[in-house]
């Protein structure tokens, strides 16, 4: 089953896909370099070398986000089942890894509500306020209200979700736009 950004299970699924593609590209590089040893033609050797060099670029593009997100897994199914009832109150995004210039923030769940965006981050970041400020700056750049609040404690996150009133609707499309901005910030 295909997982989209923001759906539960996205991190693990994209990790599997990136790992398979990276391994296939590494095998292709090794095959191209190995093929050099089986030919005596200097032109064929040069072509195989250039092909191997050109294959390194897509392999690096696939491997770098894989390495950056390797330790971040999809949260347990119990966490998902605890968050699921709150989808009636607001839009919930799961499994996003938000990136800024300085931070990689693994967000297990993000509640997008007309009164604010509340994100539960499992990363151990010592610069919590700076991370929140960086995300709010990106929201300002996207012409949105800087209303992101990062919660580092699961109990606080669920307490905040409990206090939210059901959203009336998304007449102006702000909630959907905020969700799309958050997805675009995710690797």
Residues 6+ apart with CB under 8 A from 109: 75, 79, 83, 92, 93, 94, 119, 120, 157
pLDDT at 176: 82
The whole-model pTM stands at: 0.80
Of the candidate ranges 24-33, 120-129, 138-147, 176-185, the one whose mean pLDDT is the lowest: 120-129
pLDDT tens for residues 99-117? 888 888 888 898 888 888 8
Distance between CA 71 and CA 123 in Å, rounded?
10
Nearest to residue 69, comparing CAs of 93, 96, 94? Answer: 96
Distance between CA 57 and CA 75 in Å, rounded?
31
pLDDT tens for residues 14-38? 899 999 999 999 999 999 989 988 8
């Amino acid at each position: 089953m295909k997982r989209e950004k923001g759906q539960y299970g996205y991190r693990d699924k994209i990790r599997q896909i990136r790992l398979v593609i990276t391994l296939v590209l590494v095998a292709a590089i090794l095959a191209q370099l190995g093929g050099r040893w089986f030919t005596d033609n200097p032109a064929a050797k040069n072509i195989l070398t250039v092909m191997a060099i050109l294959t390194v670029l897509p392999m690096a593009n696939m491997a770098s986000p894989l390495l950056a997100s390797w330790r971040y897994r999809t949260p347990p199914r119990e966490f998902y089942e605890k968050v699921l009832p709150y989808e009636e109150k607001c839009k919930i995004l799961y499994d996003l890894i938000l990136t800024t210039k300085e931070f990689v923030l693994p967000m297990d769940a993000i509640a997008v509500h007309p009164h604010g965006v509340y994100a539960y981050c499992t990363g151990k970041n010592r610069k919590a306020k700076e991370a929140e400020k960086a995300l709010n700056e990106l929201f300002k750049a996207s012409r949105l209200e800087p209303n992101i609040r990062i919660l580092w404690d699961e109990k606080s996150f669920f307490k905040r979700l409990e206090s939210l009133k059901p959203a009336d609707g998304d007449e102006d499309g702000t909630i959907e736009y905020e969700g799309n901005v958050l997805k675009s910030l995710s690797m």
